[in-house]
Amino acid sequence: MKLLTLISLLPFITPAVLGCGDEGHDHSHEKRAFPPTTLTPPTRALDWGDINIIHTTDSHGWLLGHQKTSFPEPNYSGDLGDFASFVSHMKQIAAEKDVDLLLVDSGDLHDGTGLSDGFPPGGVDAHEFLAKLPYDVMAIGNHELYIYANTLDMHQNFAPQLKGRYLSSNVNITVADKHGKPQSVPVGSRFAKFRTRKGRKVTSLGVLFDFTGNDKNTTVQKVADMVKEKWFLEAIKEEPDFFLLAGHMPVQRDDWPLVFKAVRKVHPTTPIIILGGHTHIRDCVQLDGRSMSLESGRYMETVGWMSMKLDERRGSKKNITFSRRYLDPNRVTYEFHTRTRNSTFDTFLGGSITRGLLQLAKRFDLNFKFGTAPQDYTIDRVPYPSNNSLLSLFAAEAMPTALSINNTRANIPNIMITNSGSQRFDVYSGPFTKNDQLTASPFADAFLYIPNIPAKTAKQVLPALNNAGAENRKRSVEEALKKREREAYELGYVDMVYRKWLEEMDRRDGVERRAARNLTLGYVTKDSCPGVGDDTLHAPLPFFDIPDFIGSNTPNVTDDTPIDLVFVDFIQDQLLEILNGVQTAKNFTTKDVQSYSPFLASAVLGLFAQKAWN
């Protein structure tokens, strides 16, 4: 896709902010790289109130920012060091205005990039750098619970650094007490009560949705049960100046209303701020005139802003004035809102965090290059199948190439199937590194196979999977899809929500806005709160629907030729059910399944790049 024409920057933003200006610039993580392109500045200044909040959520390890040059990646090119400098300047502005400014995160620090997933055995991830920022409140996410060792690290090492402000209201971990006996305790703190710089009293909670995919020795209490707990009722009994409810739940669905109503039952008019997450979208809703709920995207592609003007007199029942904004995290945005220049923006803390992250990336060998991608490959911005589709590349080229390496069955015809959700992020042209591999294809699924399946039968499996096996189920397709979506949501899978959001965005005004010559690709948000939420104007990304399952090209053999049916272990149960539905000659079980390759799905793109992109 060709880049759209960009609008000019404001005069006070120096060219050094925008890029290196060197066509041969090394965009690895070995040194700080600015995107060599012009970035669109924000449209207007932020609205400040008495209480102001900078919000992050679902960062998923994107601490070095998005450093690829294809849009929309440059919009999100700021790293955690840049963000730290931004926060420092904003704190100074708040002090000058004599107002409060809080920094809040709503969870999911783990699982996403090499900094969160790529550490050597026995090592630690990069979350120590997040603790260097002056977060007032952080809440636990479901991705802190998939692996017990991660949860234990949050409990023993990360939470203590927040000094009671890392909240896990309904999440426990089982650890040994001083006598060596197991005991279930909160991962962080149930709640926090504190005063702002201006002396205002805050009661804060950190709530996780009803997640069921957590590892053993961790527990998630249902939100409906949590609000009945004695500790909860005691925590909200005293009236603060405002409630700050941070948690890993989307603001438009799920159980925030349960928490909200429980607080409102005791305090009908006390201001309530809700900061949610999990579904990776930008969203805002007001449950009443004295509250606002904000969700601030994913992968450090959004920094949320909320402000609230308090009543002149206590006990007022009038509506409160709120504002919200979704900021693109890049240095142009940060310098615009802090009234700084490239030469004055970086703080000592910000610079030290950037250097530390780059050193950690080097230690994790995240810059190791498998090959050079010849073009952009995206998940849902192009049709599937197509030459620019990452799903086509993975299924039709990468899997067959990688799994044939050192495989005694490489010469036997096969069909390979995986779930499209195995690909989590786009692959962009240029160096394809270890970090890119972990970002695009992070799931360590094993490849299995069933031998001697007639080609005619094997060819029916992929279409039947994508039709949800409707012909072989007693319930309707709609009911089956709803059940599958509900079960996936409870396990923490949110791609379907995020993609529906992108689809609606493109359908609403994609073609028209992409035709505008002064708009770059990015998010175009329509939420339930008044006014325009996006800080920078963009045209929405093109969106194409993708199937739930993808497969390799079918071999050119006769229908009765026995072939290998290869698949990832993640879909084994579904595949066996479908296989037994499309034929009756044999009832296949797990006893018929064998290991196909020692290589995991997370290694496929790297192996392919080494052979095809060098």
Q: What would the 3-class secondary structure string for 370-411 be?
A: EEEECCCEECCCCCCCCCCEHHHHHHHHHHHHHHCCCCCCCC
Sign of the Cα pseudo-torsion (471, 474, 475, 481, in order):
negative
Q: What is the mean pLDDT of residues 264-289?
A: 98
CA distance 100 to 582: 63
Three state DSSP letters for 537-576 = CEEECCCCCCCCEEECCCCCCCCCCEEEEEEEHHHHHHHH
The span from the CA of 139 to the CA of 207, in Å, is 7
Query: Quick one: three-class SS letters along 79-103?
Result: CHHHHHHHHHHHHHHHHHHCCEEEE
Asked whether residue 80 carries a pLDDT value surpassing 50, the answer given is: yes
Residue 306 has pLDDT above 80, yes or no: yes
| Helices 455-466/572-582 angle, 10° precision | 120
- 34-48, 454-468, 578-592: lowest mean pLDDT where? 34-48
The answer to whether the predicted template modeling score (pTM) of the entire model surpasses 0.95 is: no
Indicate left, alpha or beta for 523 from its phi (over 0: left) and psi (-120 to 50: alpha): beta
What residues does 176 pair with on adjacent strands? Answer: 182
Band (494; pLDDT cuts 50, 70, 90):
confident
Arithmetic mean of pLDDT, 442-467: 96
Read off the amino acid at residue 341: R
Write out the two tokens for 500.
Answer: 């529906």
pLDDT tens per residue, range 188-220: 999 999 999 999 999 999 999 999 999 999 999
With 70 as the cut, is the pLDDT of residue 479 above it?
Answer: no
Diameter of the chain by CA atoms?
A: 82
pLDDT score at 481: 56
Helix (H) or strand (E) holding 445, with range, is: none
pLDDT of amino acid 36: 64
Confidence band for 489, pLDDT divided at 50, 70 and 90: confident
Where is pLDDT greater, at 127 or 368? 368
pLDDT of 325 over the 80 cut: yes
202-231: b or e for each residue (b if 16 or more CB lie within 10 Å)? bbbbbbbbbbeebeeebebeebeebbeeee
Residue tagged 């069933």 (tokens):
450
Query: What is the pairing mode between strands 272-276 and 242-248?
Result: parallel
Domain 15-363 maps to which CATH number in 3.40.47.10, 3.60.21.10, 3.40.50.300, 3.30.300.10? 3.60.21.10
Q: State residue 29's pLDDT score.
A: 47
Question: Mean pLDDT for the chain?
Answer: 91
pLDDT digits (tens, 9 = 90+) for 231-267: 999 999 999 999 999 999 999 878 999 999 999 999 9
Mean pLDDT throughout 303-331? 93
Q: CA 149, CA 108: separation in Å to the nearest integer?
A: 15
Collapsing DSSP states into helix, strand and coil, what is residue 49?
A: coil
Beta-strand (E) ranges in 122-268?
Answer: 137-139, 166-167, 171-176, 182-186, 191-195, 201-208, 218-220, 242-248
Confidence (pLDDT) at 478:
54
The confidence band for 120, taking pLDDT boundaries of 50, 70 and 90, is: confident
> Token pair for residue 274?
């809700």
Q: How many CB atoms lie within 10 A of CB 585?
A: 7
Q: How many angstroms separate the CA atoms of 97 and 556, rounded?
A: 72
- Number of Cβ within 10 Å of residue 355's Cβ equals 13
Give the relative orientation of helices 495-514 and 477-491 as an angle to the nearest 10 degrees.
100
Q: In what order do the strands lie in the sheet with 191-195?
A: 191-195, 201-208, 242-248, 272-276, 291-296, 282-285
Neighbouring CB atoms inside 10 A of 183's CB total 12
What burial letters (b/e) apply to 366-393, b meaning 16+ CB within 10 Å? Answer: bbbbbbebeebbbbbbbebeeeebbbbb
Q: Which CATH number fits domain 369-468+548-612: 3.90.780.10, 3.40.50.1820, 3.40.50.12780, 3.10.20.30?
A: 3.90.780.10
pLDDT for 267 equals 97
Spell out the domain ranges in the chain. 15-363, 369-468+548-612
> Which of the four pLDDT bands, split at 50, 70 and 90, describes residue 44?
very high
Q: Mind listing the pLDDT tens digit for each residue in 390-434?
A: 999 999 999 999 999 999 999 999 999 999 999 999 999 999 999
In this predicted model, what pLDDT tens digit does every residue of 160-178 receive, in sequence order? Answer: 999 999 999 999 999 999 9
The yes-or-no verdict on residue 475 having pLDDT over 70 is no
Q: Is the pLDDT of residue 536 over 70?
A: yes
Categorize the per-residue pLDDT at 516 as very low, low, confident or very high, splitting at 50, 70 and 90.
confident
Q: How confident is the model at residue 495 (pLDDT cuts 50, 70, 90)?
A: confident
pLDDT at 518: 86
Instruction: Report whether 280 contacts 60 (CB < 8 A).
Output: no
Convert the pLDDT of each residue in 566-582 to its tens digit.
Answer: 999 999 999 999 999 99
Q: What whole-number distance in Å separates Cα of residue 482 and Cα of residue 479?
A: 5
Model confidence band, residue 3 (pLDDT cutoffs 50, 70, 90): very low
